Chain A
Amino acid sequence: MKCHELEILISDYLDNVLPEETKEEFESHISECLSCKKELEETVVLLEKVSLLPVDVAPANDLWQNIESRINNKNENGHDDKIIPLKTNGTPVKVNHGKYQDRSSARNRYLKYGAITLIAAMLLIALLPSLLTEKNGVKMDIFKTSWPVINIKGVTTIGSKLLIGNDSLKIGDWLETKDSSQVKLDVPGLGTILVEPNSKVSIVRSDTGEYRIALDYGTINADITAKPRTFFVDTKSATAIDYGCAYTLTVDSNGDGILFVKEGMVALESNGRQSLVPAGRYCMSKIGIGPGTPYRKNTSDEFKKALMKYDFGNGGSESINTMLKYATKPDAVTLVNILPRVDEQLRHKVYARVYAFVPPPGNYRQDSVPYLDMEKLNKWIEKVQENINAEVEKNLKEMEKNLNENFNFQFEHGKDFKSEEFNEKLQENIEKHMEGLEKLQELYDIPMEQIEKEMEKMEKQMENFKFDYNYNFDNEKMQREMEKAQRKMEKSQRKLEEQMRKHEQDIEQEQRELELEQERRERELEQQQRELELEQERRERELEIHQREIERQLREQERQQELEERQREREQELEKQNKEREERLKERIERDNRDDIDDEN
């Protein structure tokens, strides 16, 4: 080992990271070379001095107050424009106090799953070092670059590959379901997406931590539990942004879409238009125009047509008049949404119509349209929803009461089921149910088929009840039936558990494979890193050698110059001495000459 090689190794030696062999070489060199030993000792003395420096120093002023005020900025309106670290694209999000922001359904859902999400997130953080890797400074999250996909039925392709059983969908690959195929796509840590037949989806790359898919055409059923604005679905006509919800989104071959929100809330955004669609509402989006106004499931065809014409055609006042004509109380939500967009001449009409259903909160008159900002409109919509919910509850209670009456009546009349009085009462009760159900259907958007099914079921139950009652409640039979049902339930429970176990095993297997893959990549990276480091060191050493060579040459040159200088000096001196000697000789000759002349004289 040479001195210049050792100099570079001092830091690694003191950090105790030198390989054993190099360390021995290092120490043997140090014990022999005085200058290197001196350098090492000086470095140690320096490090001893540095080790006395404080690692923590308290600032003279309290910095927190300033920081807190910077992260809790107040805006001009006095609202908190609080910067919250929620958005994952790296830029702060300002909390918008606009419509639907505080909608209880979305909030409840978020709260309901909040604890689970938190625990899952904490577990994820513990796992992260093994799941994340870093390449060229870019963080790669393997969870987001490929999502698990499970084939439920039929033929599905990923790119040109056939999907068999469990696989994973990578960024950029298109997943296509055929006529009768169905696939489940797991959004890691957020939920699932059911891709229905004849659909085409892919995962879109997002470097900002968002989860984003593109739906080219077809239908997806998404069930997502995430922070608002984490999960996005891009379609040609609009982007659906999740606020913690379950929804169905269908896109046709042109790119026009229709969204139905089952639970929570979804925002549809495009071309600067935004619609916030709450649970139980539909919303269309048209290519080139963007999203329309949300409407309820069972609104009348006339209302729906007029709304479509208003949103996407050139319906104008005619459409508004039709909508007002056919609007019922649950349509008030749609009308409130339209209010800010409608022409001023028609605004008072729309306002008065909604006012008649449910007046806005606060002291407003029906005959003059007040200015209502988004927050107030939002509150109004909430009031309408609450009003409808209250009516639904009232109707449900009435139905319950009717059922109880019916039950008591049957008991009162004992076995006399064939009496006219009983039949009349029964008929009356069924009619009451029907009334209640119709009312409910209108208010709560329950489809007619479901009601019919419910009624059939109820009638069947009544028949059975009559039958059983006629036979004095065959207790043993009932017991047997119950046991049978119990066994059936247990069996299906076991089957479900078995399926769950299998699914978990599959996931574990996949996880293990991912981890192995991860480890392999890390090893490769480390190897590359080591090679790079060695290369770097080699280059540094070469550079050092080169530099030393140059220094040596310079020294040599200096020495040469010095020698030449000295040579010159010596020559000059010799010349001087010669001159002196010549002069002395001359003098002597002259003196001798003079002496000779004197002698002659």
Chain B
Amino acid sequence: MLAEPIKNNYNPELVLENSIKEAELVQKASNGDCQTFKELFEKYVNRIYAFCMRISSNPQVAEELTQDVFVKAWEKLDTFRGDSQFSTWLHSIAVNEFLMYKRTQKRFLQRVVQTDNINQYDISTERHEYHFNTNIDIENAISTLPEQAKIVFILHDVHGYQHKEIAEIADIEIGTSKAHLHRARKLLREELSK
């Protein structure tokens, strides 16, 4: 028997209602209302933290990244035009912050440690104790994925974003996103069958 394609649970009315409520909150927050921004923070902090945790594979770094994401979001609230979901926007900030962090980390290591193999000092290659208690195998397998493939895989298969949205979040082409996903799944299958 063939595997059934996964169906989208899309309810347009609910989505519209939520996005209007969210737009109101964002509007209020962008006028400098810290309390309203806290509501938005509480709504999305766990999702963003989970995302940062998976891409960085390090709880401390994930906490720092999550803080940076929300501070950046607060500063740039007025540039959020509402043509995408607020969560999508937050994820795109998270991806940027992560890539920036990686760049800084790499530069820092290049300056401080004179070595031929920078990767051995790379934080992401270290194994950390996860907060996720179950599914340790799959979480560890995800952490071994190459950077871009990992981002696309987490966004698509864990957070349920479509390729079009991922293209927007990670600033890549839709085709590239598909290619990364294909590669990530293949690598994961191999890793899990070891």
Beta-carbon nearest neighbor of B153 in chain A: A50
Shortest distance from the beta carbon of A101 to any chain B beta carbon, whole Å? 14
Chain B, residues 1-16, CB within 8 Å of chain A (1/0): the string is 0110111100000000
Output the least CB separation between B141 and chain A (Å).
9
B55 close to chain A: CB less than 8 A: no
Interface presence of A562 (CB below 8 A):
no
Q: Which residues of the other chain, B, contact A44 by a CB distance below 8 angstroms?
A: 3
The tally of residues in A whose CB lies under 8 Å from a CB in B reads 68
B24 to chain A, nearest CB (A): 6
Q: Is A361 an interface residue (CB 8 A)?
A: no
A335 to chain B, nearest CB (A): 35
Contacting pair A90 B175 (CB below 8 A): no
Contact of A54 among B31, B50, B188 (CB under 8 A): B50
Indicate whether A59 reaches chain B with its CB closer than 8 angstroms. yes
Among the listed B6, B31, B50, B75, which residue makes an inter-chain contact with A83, where contact means beta carbons less than 8 Å apart? B75
Cα-based distance from A92 to B5 in the complex (angstroms)? 46
Contact B67 A84, beta carbon cutoff 8 Å: no
**Number of B residues whose C-beta is below 8 Å from A?**
66
Are B5 and A129 in contact (CB-based, < 8 A)?
no
Instruction: Kindly state whether residue A496 has any CB partner on chain B within 8 Å.
Output: no
Give the distance in Å from the alpha carbon of A186 to the alpha carbon of B149 in the complex: 48
Complex Cα distance, B37 from A67, in Å, reads 11
B132 A57 Cβ-Cβ under 8 A: yes
Whole-angstrom distance from the CB of A270 to the nearest CB of chain B? 26
Write the nearest CB–CB distance from B61 to chain A, whole angstroms: 12
Verify A66–B67 contact, CB threshold 8 A: yes
Residue among B3, B41, B77 having the largest count of chain A Cβ atoms under 10 Å: B3
* A414 contacts the other chain (CB 8 A): no
User: Can you list, as one digit per residue, whether each of B57-71 has a CB less than 8 Å from chain A (1) or not (0)?
Assistant: 001001100110011
Residues from chain B with Cβ under 8 Å of A30 in the complex: 2
Within 8 A of B (CB), among A69-92: 70-72, 82-88, 90-92
Judge whether B185 and A43 touch: CB under 8 Å. yes
A121 to chain B, nearest CB (A): 6
A533 at the A/B interface (Cβ < 8 Å)? Answer: yes
**Interface-centre pick from A11, A61, A540 (highest chain B CB count, 10 A):** A11
Q: Is the CB of A55 within 8 A of B82?
A: no
CB pair A60 B71 closer than 8 Å: no
Q: What residues of chain A lie closer than 8 Å to B118, measured between beta carbons? A: none
Which B residues are in CB contact (< 8 Å) with A15? 5-6, 162
In the complex where A15-B5, A52-B134 touch, is A61 in contact with B63 (Cβ < 8 A)?
Answer: yes
Partner of B78, one of A47, A85, A128: A85
A46 CA to B135 CA in the complex, in Å?
A: 12
A362 within 8 A of B: no
Residues on the A chain within 8 Å of B178, using CB: 8, 11-12
Closest to A40 in B: B3
* Chain A, residue nearest B79 (CB): A90
Smallest CB gap from B189: residue in A: A42
Residues of B close to A1: CB separation below 8 A: none
CA distance A434 to B159 in the complex (A): 78
Q: Considering the chains assembled together, what is the distance between the CA atoms of A87 and B150 in angstroms?
A: 35
Q: Which of A121, A126, A128, A536 contacts B173 (CB 8 A)?
A: A536
Q: Is the pair B47, A55 in contact by a Cβ cutoff of 8 Å? A: yes
Asked if B29 contacts A533 (CB within 8 A), the reply is no
Q: A64-B38, A85-B74, A85-B76 are in contact. Are A50 and B138 (CB under 8 A)?
A: yes
Residues of B within 8 Å of A70, CB to CB, are 67, 71
Complex contact A84–B49 (CB within 8 A): no
Kindly state whether residue B127 has any CB partner on chain A within 8 Å.
Answer: no
Which B residues are in CB contact (< 8 Å) with A533? 174-175
Cβ-based interface call for B32 (8 A): yes
Check A58–B49 contact: CB distance below 8 A. Answer: yes
Contact call A209/B78, Cβ cutoff below 8 A = yes
At the interface, yes or no: B90 with Cβ under 8 Å from chain A? no
Residues of A within 8 A of B37 (CB): 71
Q: Note all chain A residues with C-beta closer than 8 A to B109.
A: none
Smallest beta-carbon distance A225→chain B, Å: 15
Partner of A529, one of B27, B41, B174: B174
| A575 is an interface residue with CB less than 8 A from chain B | no
Give Cα A50–Cα B156 distance, bound, in whole angstroms.
Answer: 11
Q: Is B100 an interface residue (CB 8 A)?
A: no
Q: Which residues of A contact B77 (CB under 8 A)?
A: 85
- The answer to whether A86 touches B158, judged by C-beta atoms less than 8 angstroms apart, is no
- CA separation between A61 and B70, bound complex, in Å? 15
Does A49 sit within 8 A of B, measured CB to CB? Answer: yes
CA distance A87 to B78 in the complex (A): 8
- Nearest chain A residue, comparing its CB with the CB of B192: A46
| A152-166 at interface with B (beta carbon < 8 Å) | none
Does chain A have a CB within 8 A of B182?
yes
- B171 an interface residue at 8 Å Cβ cutoff? yes
B130 nearest CB neighbor, chain A only: A57
Most buried by B among A11, A59, A209, A532: A59
Give min CB distance, B161 to chain A, whole Å. Answer: 11
Q: Name B20's contact: one of A56, A126, A139, A537 (CB within 8 Å).
A: A126
Tell me how far the C-beta of A166 lies from the nearest C-beta in chain B, rounded to whole angstroms. 26
Q: How far is the CB of A73 from chain B (nearest CB, A)?
A: 11
- Mask of B24-39 contacts with A, CB within 8 angstroms, 1/0: 1011011110100110
For residue B46, CB closer than 8 A to chain A, the reply is: yes
Chain B residues closer than 8 Å to A118, beta-carbon distance: 27, 31
> Known interface pairs A40-B3, A47-B157. Does A85 touch B132 (Cβ–Cβ under 8 Å)?
no
Task: Tell whether A134 is near chain B: CB-to-CB under 8 Å.
Answer: yes
Contact between A67 and B71, CB atoms less than 8 A apart: yes
Q: Are B189 and A46 in contact (CB under 8 A)?
A: yes
Q: Are the C-beta atoms of A125 and B5 separated by less than 8 Å?
A: no
Say yes or no: B134 contacts A57, CB within 8 Å. Answer: no
> Which residue from B66, B135, B139, B162 sits with its C-beta under 8 Å from A63?
B66
Q: Is B95 an interface residue (CB 8 A)?
A: no
B107 at the interface (CB under 8 A from A): no
Indicate if A272 sits at the interface (CB-CB under 8 A).
no
Question: Are the CB atoms of A84 and B134 closer together than 8 Å?
Answer: no
Of B78, B82, B181, most A-chain CB atoms within 10 Å:
B78
B53 near A: Cβ within 8 Å?
Answer: yes
Q: How many angstroms between the C-alpha atoms of A14 and B162 in the bound complex?
A: 12
Contact for B45 among A10, A59, A82, A87, CB less than 8 A: A59
B34 near A128: Cβ-Cβ < 8 Å = no
Q: How far is the CA of A87 from the CA of B32 in the complex (A)?
A: 11
Please determine whether A13 and B50 come into contact, CB atoms closer than 8 angstroms: no
Asked, given contacts A67-B41, A92-B75, whether A134 binds B83 with beta carbons under 8 Å apart, the answer is yes
Query: Is A475 positioned at the interface, with any CB of B under 8 Å from its CB?
Result: no
Give the top 4 A-B pairs by smallest Cβ distance, nearest first: A536-B175, A56-B46, A57-B50, A16-B5
Some 13 contacts from A to B, beta carbons below 8 A apart, are: A11-B178, A15-B6, A46-B192, A49-B135, A53-B138, A56-B50, A68-B38, A85-B76, A85-B77, A92-B75, A118-B27, A122-B27, A137-B171
Q: A57-B46, A88-B78, A134-B83 are in contact. List 4 more A-B contacts (CB 8 A).
A: A30-B2, A42-B189, A85-B77, A85-B78
